[in-house]
Amino acid sequence: MPIKIITLNANGIRSAWRKGLADFLAREQADLVCLQETRIQPAQLSADMLAPGSCRGFFHHAAKAGYSGVAIYARRSPERVVEGLGWPDFDAEGRWLQVDYGNLSIVSLYLPSGSSSEARQQIKFGVMERLTPHLKQMLADGREWIICGDINIAHKNIDIKNWRGNQKNSGFLPEERAWLDLLFDGIGWVDAFRVVDPEPDQYTWWSNRGQAWAKNVGWRIDYQIISPGLRGAVLSARIHKDERFSDHAPLIMEYAIDLP
């Protein structure tokens, strides 16, 4: 039985809920939903946000109210849940949540953005540097992995509409793109979307400035990144643009995987 996994930067789960996210999730009936930028504290979660439909919600909140945070909705209860990576500064921002089923782990990851300041860009670079050996070790441990999330980096020219004009901007800097080259071409991780969709103009985020959404002037910065053993299990990928719950669009993928 194939499994369906959705990833979405909600840009505030309460805002996305008001815009119809709960109805969308009810229709899609995904096995797992990975959310980033939930921007909510435990006491603010409504009952349906905690457990929409037949799913159970798991959350890793940021210490700072109204900021960052990740979540996973799971139709089947996982055997283990891991909040954070044991890095106090990173974990305080609520950026890593992992659920385990047998030999398969699914992660909701929210990589920092560097667009607000040079200081935040340096923090982003620091997280990328620390993640590199961890991602190598993950592939060496014999598990299969699906990392879902807002990586805040467009990888290649095909992944961003205005690539010429953005080469000096956070999210498309040469150092950031080289890091994804290392992940995919060096370490061996796989960009699952590109396994089944090689086409241009496939974006998951649009600036709120100008007419970016209307003109499809976007960036593909939301990913499902898989261990190489799952490459052959990728069945389909689509970006849901019929409704807007956020400045990001849901990335919906199906895999020929049986959850244990």
Residue 103, Ramachandran bin (φ over 0: left; ψ between -120 and 50: alpha; else beta): alpha
| DSSP codes of every residue in 185-244 | III--EEHHHHH---SS--SEE-SSTTTTTTT-EE--EEEEE-GGGGGGEEEEEE--SS-
Determine whether 242 is an active site residue.
no
Spell out the alpha helix ranges (H) of the chain: 13-18, 21-28, 47-50, 88-91, 118-140, 174-181, 192-196
- Spot the catalytic one: 31, 100, 150, 185: 150
- Could you tell me what percentage of the chain is helix, strand and coil, using 3-state DSSP and rounding each to the nearest 5? 30, 25, 45
Q: Which two tokens stand for residue 96?
A: 């890593």
Catalytic residues: 150
